[in-house]
Amino acid sequence: MIVVTGGAGFIGSAMIAKLNEKGRDDILVVDDLASTEKWKNLVGKKFADYMHKDAFLKGIDGGSFPRGDLDAIIHLGACSSTTERNVEYLMQNNYYYTKRLSDYATWSEIRFIYASSAATYGDGEQGFSDDDAVTPLLRPLNPYGYSKQVFDLWAMRNGLMDLITGVKFFNVFGPNEYHKGDMKSLVVKAYKQIMETGKVKLFKSHREGYKDGEQVRDFIYVKDCTEALWWLLEHKEAAGIYNLGTGHARSWNDLANAIFAALGMPPSIEYIDMPESIRNAYQYHTEATMTKLRGKGFTLPFSTLEESVADYVKNYLHPSDRYL
């Protein structure tokens, strides 16, 4: 059985769709549905069972899953809010939770893939290399990034980089993110704005050398992410921490123009001031260095921004939200 934590979430539910596509339905979905809309991400998915994350952890600690019961754990469950300020909450959900699962996985000698984050790179002063020598030098800008960084460092100190696999997701977008509130991608937010007003709002630049809307990100489609995760699941030799982006940064203007193009509309962009509260922690440039994963033999091409946005808008967002 394959465990997918955060299985009702954005990337988690997309991964279940990928596992189903590959003929796997022996899946244990672990999550905390609470009173959210995440349950919609599971509709139509094939899986063996569902467990609340607390019950799952209790089972792990209490011996309910003896060695041989599970084949792999794909650990995508976490608090992913970059604006969360309850640091202890983040540490419990993103650090301690991951430690307990990695301890179990290494003890039972099964595949363990977990979500780190590009937020660990902070302002990018150290670049965006996933080389082990760079990881200790990184300085995240927010508590979320720090909670991810702490586990990466713990795993390195304890010699786990030959046993487990961490994935530093860059700017992921795509179907099944509809429940994420303010953490939804700009594709969803911009699409809604365009449908309501005919235009999209982007932040002005507050840094010399960057024009308005020309701040860049490494945008990656969730379908490409699940292709990479499937490949990592199949290749146990690919242990360590890896970036997961396209390796090609694109601007917010490019993203907005791609959405308008997918809708067959001329671009109309309004630039607004960036809130003072986020200016000091705002990233103007992110771009994944992909040589490490490519060097392990991952050769699948990533979709272009225009291809990904067109698929998302035409086949999922327009005229109403559809799910993978």
What is the C-alpha separation between 41 and 7, in angstroms, rounded? 9
Whole-angstrom CA distances from 270 to 143, 188, 253, 254 are 31, 17, 11, 14
Closest CA to 296 of 256, 236, 250: 236
Euclidean distance between CA atoms 267 and 184, whole angstroms:
21
Which residue's structure tokens are 């594709």? 187
Residues 40, 110: Cα–Cα separation, whole Å: 30
Closest CA to 152 of 171, 130, 170: 130
CA-to-CA distance for 174 and 161, rounded, in angstroms? 30
Catalytic residue, from 99, 180, 184, 199: name it: 180
The reply to whether 144 belongs to the active site is: yes
Tell me which residue has tokens 């080389």: 131
Catalytic residue among 104, 121, 144, 178: 144
Place of tokens 């499937």: 230
Distance of CA 204 to the CA centre of its chain: 26
Which residues does the annotation mark as catalytic?
144, 180
